Chains A and B, each alone.
Chain A
């Protein structure tokens, strides 16, 4: 039986409706349980001495004075930790040529970025540990630092890892068609340079881990703020030489992740190693400065790109040369080559064209390592593509909407394969654009813009179409050799009182996974979501799964939950049919009651069925199955990724005297397939847009030429704040994926993917009559005035 998603009056119609989040009251009332809320008997705290140099040889470490500090228990150097913890190498086989040296939990003889952990101090309190950290004297011999991406491969640039032979981590060139010939014969070729700033995710809850080693059980338990508990289980087991089965990772409430918490961090592994050595629980909670200097960074790209058009505005070719600096190591185990790889995969995404060349060059630097952060590579690829398309439209005097109309894949052309060799199952670029035009009243907005210009106000409209990669298959990591599950599972159980428990391998980071699961399971079984309790984030309890990343929770975890719930429903109906002497096909479960499916007349409450099964099983036929626990797994098979699409628009005003940008309004039409919970999806989109707007206007990690981090606090790394955010109008087109019954694709990253490009295009739309153009993010007041030529010195 398929669910009639289109019928809002169907029984148990929770999929597609906004239902309350089951965990919201707990979080709002301060009753959540984050890692830092957990206190275990005999627990100690660790703090780290971190390298003050971007690159330095570690000579002597004198911790004599620190050892005497009250409360200090033990001090560990890199060599101490290396005795129990093997180093790791962040490469994957399918990213051909990617190289990275072994990375230790604590730097052993060389520190390679400001903030790299060098010495660990364990004390009875974090304050005591910090007191000792301040007294540890590390004799560093500073080495030359590599900080500039574009010169990292020059012959006279020092090598960060001499054993690797050069500073190149990864390079990929993708070519389709004949770009040179297309450029040579084009009606118009437009070229531009783009730059995206180094960002970090700034989670409200910092990175947190508490690890307990119980030698009597031979078991390690890690309470961890993570997106991928099973992945961390494997990592800790592998590098601490434990059986995987003897590592349990528990992930309770998490205060935001955005990709930051899906990676392996040396200080967190060191914490586990110390727990193993000391045989007692060790807690590490990153503080804000540590977060800025050691959480993964992202998006530090410099790009040269070209687009070629014919006289009708059809795209003939796109040529992209992308460079990014990733820090001294490729981050384990997902690697730091993915972001550049995504730029190659995603540029030109919405458009049908024949000739494509894209190259990414990924180099080592002495800065914090970069890795996957919300919308990995998308904001860069969308900025390049949509920036070029807008510039091209201006160059041939065409409206930016019209040029997109002429080039976007037709809504009825699917399935189709892009020049980047991405396979699209079904997208809705034109329907989404049509909906956007209606929502924003494009023509009226253009009239308002013209009127404002008469009054001396520079307003701009920016459009950005995009594709988003979601629901990844093993093609993302598994084929490269990483033990990162693309499959996910869900166990759904009915207890004696008729209530339902769902255990899922996807995780809750504060984004609403548990709400989504509760309503899918509620509809699948036939109960109210309020009777469904969802359990996630415990490797010893839930089915094995990948967790939360690449917008996979709803599409993959949701489908597993739906299948498990429907299997349980069948089991329940089988028992009910026996009890009621009825045909199971004539029964249904609605709102916690077994009913006649035709009339809807109640026949048996689930709690009565539970009472009989669990306490009076003797009254049921001996051969009647009574399995009120069902588990199902789901993995995508037909496509490597479920692509989604959407289009955003920004309306803004530029103060051409000060360079300040005021965001007036923002729109997004997004097609994530089946919308399970409209409010959650809309707020995911809004939150994603805000993160994208942060990248467009505010966020930028600064290092000086020696590799010193210049902005390590919330006062000078500017995240977007409510006062500056515009109203955001969200709309949807639904093109469900046929890979699953649920039909859901991901929605978590679309907002972030498109917002920076929309803002860039809007600013340039405002500046164009004044002769200015900007392509370097964030678009600070000063960069805008420099683009206008107002400031030149």
Chain B
């Protein structure tokens, strides 16, 4: 099919982007890396979009230290996340996640902000920022707004961002000494969306476990986290399998995904223990 776009405009800065959005009569769509939006348009799943190209807005890309946190510009591309030394040192979960995301051509264009705002429940980055306890920084008509990752993902492809807001950055806490990050996922082929995956972060304050491709939104598996804090892996697996709500599709049933989540959790635990042993 041929895409049916309603128009295109390039935003020079964030206020300009919001101005274009305000004037789009509801048809505006921010275009960043375009790796989901353009594909949807090419299948006419989305028609008449007024594309507001934010990809050239200066200052929205790159990773910087901000005290005890790292600030990641929303336009930072997946490939840049994967090779960024600050992330490798302080938030290796994000670095490790990149190899699971699609293929090189997509990683070279897709942006972390786009992936988070798109909120695909099978994507890696949403689960990563949930496990890390990140904060999302949005800018709207009323100025800046911070949204905790736990409150960001509301439903399939639906986030806490308002129509007139734009995601500008994500900040994550720097890993404390001894903190461990692991991402595990299983896909039919490398680069495919995961059948199910999970992110496990072990901090002195306790474990954080997020699961993706196991329900309409990535979730923190709190029951499993409590069991992990108690050192009971069996109970954690049982709790995890009970608290996710995977769906069935042509690749696998919910039962398989529930089983797989438990296998992946055991592997994540083993990896963390292997790393610290």
Chain A residues with CB under 8 A of B3: 127
Within 8 A of B (CB), among A680-732: 698, 700, 702, 710-711, 713, 715-716, 718, 720-721, 723-724
Docked Cα-Cα span, A125 to B2, in Å, equals 10
Interface residue? B44 (CB, 8 A): yes
Interface residue? B57 (CB, 8 A): no
Chain A residues with CB under 8 A of B276: none
Interface residue? B192 (CB, 8 A): yes
Docked Cα-Cα span, A127 to B251, in Å, equals 32
Within 8 A of B (CB), among A91-128: 125-127
B192 partner, pick from A658, A718, A780, A790, beta carbons under 8 A: A718
Interface residue? B186 (CB, 8 A): yes
Interface flags, B223-262, vs A, CB<8A=1, else 0: 0000000000000000000000000011111011001100
Chain A residues with CB under 8 A of B250: 700, 702, 710-711, 716
Interface residue? B263 (CB, 8 A): yes
Contact call B191/A721, Cβ cutoff below 8 A: yes
Interface residue? A624 (CB, 8 A): no
Docked Cα-Cα span, A716 to B250, in Å, equals 8
Chain A residues with CB under 8 A of B189: 698, 718, 720-721, 723-724
Docked Cα-Cα span, A133 to B94, in Å, equals 44
Docked Cα-Cα span, A721 to B2, in Å, equals 26
Contact call A785/B191, Cβ cutoff below 8 A: no
Docked Cα-Cα span, A782 to B4, in Å, equals 39
Docked Cα-Cα span, A125 to B190, in Å, equals 37
Interface residue? B195 (CB, 8 A): yes
Chain B residues with CB under 8 A of A780: 188, 251-252
Say how far A64's CB is from chain B's closest CB, in angstroms.
20
Interface residue? B9 (CB, 8 A): no
Chain B residues with CB under 8 A of A660: 186
Q: Interface centre among A658, A724, A790, by most B CB within 10 Å?
A: A658
B43 partner, pick from A127, A657, A713, A793, beta carbons under 8 A: A713
Q: Which residue of A lies closest to B266 (CB)?
A: A657
Docked Cα-Cα span, A710 to B43, in Å, equals 15
Contact call A716/B2, Cβ cutoff below 8 A: no
Interface flags, A754-793, vs B, CB<8A=1, else 0: 0000000000000000000000000011100100001101
Size range of the interface on B?
20 to 34
Chain A residues with CB under 8 A of B190: 721, 723-724
Chain B residues with CB under 8 A of A791: 253, 255-256, 259
Contact call B259/A785, Cβ cutoff below 8 A: yes
Contact call A782/B253, Cβ cutoff below 8 A: yes
Docked Cα-Cα span, A287 to B39, in Å, equals 13
Docked Cα-Cα span, A658 to B249, in Å, equals 17
Contact call B259/A790, Cβ cutoff below 8 A: yes
Contact call A781/B195, Cβ cutoff below 8 A: yes
Say how far B225's CB is from chain A's closest CB, in angstroms.
22
Interface residue? A253 (CB, 8 A): no
Chain A residues with CB under 8 A of B256: 659, 781-782, 785, 791
Q: Interface centre among B195, B253, B256, by most A CB within 10 Å?
A: B256
Interface residue? B105 (CB, 8 A): no
Chain A residues with CB under 8 A of B2: 125-127, 130
Docked Cα-Cα span, A710 to B251, in Å, equals 11
Chain A residues with CB under 8 A of B193: 715
Interface flags, B91-112, vs A, CB<8A=1, else 0: 0000000000000000000000
Chain A residues with CB under 8 A of B260: 658, 781
Interface residue? A289 (CB, 8 A): yes
Chain B residues with CB under 8 A of A125: 2
Interface residue? B1 (CB, 8 A): yes
Interface flags, B172-210, vs A, CB<8A=1, else 0: 000000000000001011111101000000000000000
Docked Cα-Cα span, A790 to B44, in Å, equals 41
A781 partner, pick from B1, B44, B252, beta carbons under 8 A: B252
A130 partner, pick from B1, B195, B255, beta carbons under 8 A: B1
Interface flags, A476-514, vs B, CB<8A=1, else 0: 000000000000000000000000000000000000000
Given contacts A127-B2, A658-B260, A791-B259, contact A716 B251 (CB under 8 A): yes
Given contacts A658-B263, A781-B195, A781-B256, contact A718 B43 (CB under 8 A): no
Contact call B263/A657, Cβ cutoff below 8 A: yes
A interface, CB within 8 angstroms of B:
125-127, 130-131, 134, 287, 289, 657-660, 698, 700, 702, 710-711, 713, 715-716, 718, 720-721, 723-724, 780-782, 785, 790-791, 793
List 10 additional A-B contacts (Cβ < 8 Å) besides A126-B2, A289-B1: A127-B2, A131-B4, A287-B1, A657-B263, A659-B256, A660-B186, A715-B192, A780-B188, A782-B252, A785-B256
Closest 8 CB pairs of A and B: A127-B2, A723-B190, A782-B256, A702-B250, A657-B263, A782-B252, A711-B250, A721-B189
27 A-B interface contacts by CB (under 8 A): A130-B2, A130-B44, A131-B4, A134-B44, A287-B1, A289-B1, A289-B43, A658-B186, A660-B186, A700-B250, A702-B250, A715-B192, A716-B249, A718-B192, A718-B251, A721-B189, A724-B190, A780-B251, A780-B252, A781-B188, A781-B195, A781-B256, A781-B260, A785-B256, A791-B255, A791-B256, A793-B255
